[in-house]
Amino acid sequence: MNKRDTNNSKAGGGMSRRYFLQVTGTGAVTAMALGGASVLPKSARAAGDPYVWISPRGTVEVLDDYPYWIAKEFGYFGDIETKLEPGPSDGTATVKFVDQGRADMGFPSPGIFSFAIENGLDLISVWNMGAVDVFNFAFRKGEGVKDLKDLEGKTVLLASAAWQAITDPMFLAAGADPSKINYVEAGWPTWGTALVRGEGDAALAWEGLRADWEGKGFELEYWLGVDHSGFPANSFVVRTSDVSDPERHKLLEDYLRGWAMGLEFGHIDPRAATDIVFKQFPIVKNNLGPKFGTESMMQLAAVFRGDMSKREGWGWHELARWRLFFDMAKSLGQVTKDIDLDKVITNEFVGPANNFDKGRVQADSAGYEVASDMKSVSVDAIKAGFFDNAVR
């Protein structure tokens, strides 16, 4: 079936509602699109296998996963052998691979997680990496809106059809009618370029990517989720059976402790956190440079931290945010029944994971020598201009 409806977009490629329902609706057809149990047989992972975390992006050559690379750099995972895998960039691989036993942990947005639940994937969120909404809408400079209702009848660019699972609840929560949004699937990684070229009125973006696009010379402004949205962002999900298995439970505690220590390190020293990713992926440094790389990392770190006065440590799920999201998803028909938060979200790993030697992390940060070209980056200057391109 065609993904495009050439009569439905000034960009020349509208995304048909019927096609999208095959990606994200309810029922057997969607289960096939999601890659549920009927597509591939589930496989058991052996005890000695590396612990595999799968990205929702189709790449790991980004700053988003800086806590992982910090944990690898300083041995925060202990003797756990770990792997980060990019996975296919189809929007759903991060949940279907975990369900099928082809990965141990995925990092879906709340929208993709809700569809996994709807389609019977027995997954549970164990770590709310994105405490606040990471997602934004980008506009060409001077064309931004403060009220998402102003996008009704306009064209919104997405890289993947599956991303409508992210945007529809955002529109509904803001009082806009999602059915009046004309979506265009503009492809990865070209959907931002398509916006700059005038092929749409807005594009889905997120913190971290905002600095990336600025570094590429895109003159954009943003409606920021961190300002306007009450939703959570991506979380780490595992098979429910892993939580009930004592050995896997302990493994999860130890593994997530490594991420928590990496997050703490990044909070203490953003330049060092950025430099560690640059060492792992020189291409990221080449693409962003020291200033925009550090700014991208700091945007992500702000989302990961959220308001710690409302959280009981790194990874804590604020249940009111999840309740709001799932209620919006149900209103849209993305899920067809009330979701019991106690069955799909747990904070039981937050305490053990945050029980780490903060003095060690502080010492590791103090002892890390950043590359010479990173030393001129001013964290204070970045903070001062953090929201200069926000529509407020």
Q: Are residues 122 and 138 in the same domain?
A: no
Q: Are residues 69 and 162 in the same domain?
A: no
Report whether pLDDT(16) > 80: no
Residue 87 confidence class, pLDDT cut points 50, 70, 90 = confident
Report whether pLDDT(305) > 60: yes
pLDDT of residue 21: 27
CA distance 275 to 281: 10
Give the CA count within 13 Å in the CB-facing half-sphere of 213. Answer: 29
Q: Are residues 372 and 351 in the same domain?
A: yes
Q: Are residues 85 and 212 in the same domain?
A: no
Whether the full predicted model's pTM is greater than 0.75, yes or no, is yes
Residue 57 confidence class, pLDDT cut points 50, 70, 90 = confident
Work out the average pLDDT over 364-375: 98
Look at residues 116, 94, 107 and name the one whose alpha carbon lies nearest to residue 64.
107
Question: Pick the residue with more confidence: 31 or 14?
Answer: 14
52: domain CATH number is 3.40.190.10
Share of the chain above pLDDT 70, in %: 88
Report whether pLDDT(33) > 70: no
pLDDT of residue 162: 83
Chain segment 93-152, per-residue pLDDT in tens: 999 999 999 999 999 999 999 989 999 999 999 999 999 999 999 999 999 999 999 999
- Domain residue limits at 309: 28-131+234-384
Q: Judge whether 178 lies within some domain.
A: yes
Report whether pLDDT(79) > 70: yes
Residue 45 confidence class, pLDDT cut points 50, 70, 90 = low
Chain segment 146-201, per-residue pLDDT in tens: 999 999 999 999 998 888 989 999 999 999 999 999 999 999 889 999 999 999 99
Domain boundary among 228, 256, 274: 228
Burial of 124 (0-12, 13-18, 19+ CB in 10 A): buried
Contact in structure between 140 and 169 (CB atoms under 8 Å): no
Domain boundary among 228, 259, 286: 228
Chain segment 318-351, per-residue pLDDT in tens: 999 999 999 999 999 999 999 999 999 999 999 9
Q: Judge whether 392 lies within some domain.
A: no
pLDDT of residue 47: 62
Residue 49 confidence class, pLDDT cut points 50, 70, 90 = confident
For the chain, the domain total comes to 2
Report whether pLDDT(10) > 80: no
pLDDT of residue 46: 62
Q: Are residues 298 and 379 in the same domain?
A: yes
Q: Are residues 139 and 199 in the same domain?
A: yes
Q: Judge whether 391 lies within some domain.
A: no
pLDDT of residue 31: 33
Chain segment 205-239, per-residue pLDDT in tens: 999 999 999 999 999 999 999 999 999 999 999 99
Question: Pick the residue with more confidence: 266 or 28?
Answer: 266
pLDDT of residue 92: 87
pLDDT of residue 42: 52
Q: Are residues 119 and 185 in the same domain?
A: no
Q: Judge whether 360 lies within some domain.
A: yes
pLDDT of residue 20: 32
Give the CA count within 13 Å in the CB-facing half-sphere of 110. Answer: 33
Q: Judge whether 315 lies within some domain.
A: yes
- Mean pLDDT of the chain, nearest integer: 89
Domain boundary among 228, 258, 287: 228
Chain segment 240-271, per-residue pLDDT in tens: 999 999 999 999 999 999 999 999 999 999 99
Work out the average pLDDT over 66-92: 93
